[in-house]
Amino acid sequence: MVVLEDGAPRCLDCADLGHLVFLPRGDTALTRRSREESTLSAVVLRFNRRKGRYERQGVLVEEAGLARAEARCLADAEARRRRRARDARRRAAQDTRFTEAFAAEILRLLPCCPPDRARAIAAHASVRGSGRVGRSAAGRALSEVAVVSAVVASVRHLDTPYDRLLMSGVPRHEARLRIAAGVERLLREWGWRAGLGSAGP
């Protein structure tokens, strides 16, 4: 590890940080408490060349501060475990309600879509942390564009040769153009009356 000081790298001892110990990222409570218990601390970053950005690796803290933080975490570990369990149940209930609302909106916009398919599309699109359209701001607001985009994505992969085209080397944009008519045809069979617009193929 080195410290950048005035643009120049220095070793930890030269930067008066050599007495600190490294705490890897991963335990939020322990990290927060270690920094609270340490008079001096420093964030450790590593540059990810592939992503072109710095990413947090952990913190440097005083060894005595880390020991005090670990003792605090052990003292209330059971309470924090119960709180995590409650939070997980609450999030699961929220996710279930959101998926049901998403499926209901699919069926409102495309009333002839098979209900099982609508539920499957909603479940796939709304997975927490997935980055899929259901978890976008528009998706959480159940906007028409987001909901139809989720349906289009499902149709594209399950009801057209789109994936085979990609695997055969067809560029994505061209593959989408080739299957666009088939996607729109199925959506119209399911009761979609508007043009695809920005939900596009």
Cβ neighbours of residue 186 under 8 Å, at least 6 residues apart? 155, 159
- Decide: helix, strand or coil at residue 24: strand
Q: What is the pTM of this model?
A: 0.60
Sign of CA dihedral 124, 128, 130, 131: positive
Handedness of CA 134, 138, 141, 145 (dihedral sign): negative
pLDDT tens digits along 7-27: 788 887 777 788 889 999 988
pLDDT at 77 over 50: yes
Using CA atoms of 80, 83, 88, 92 in order, give the dihedral in degrees to the nearest 10: 180
Does position 201 have pLDDT exceeding 50, yes or no?
no
pLDDT score recorded for residue 195:
56
* CA gap 41, 24 in Å, rounded: 13
Q: From CA 194, how far away is CA 19, in angstroms rounded?
A: 66
Tokens describing residue 169:
């080397």
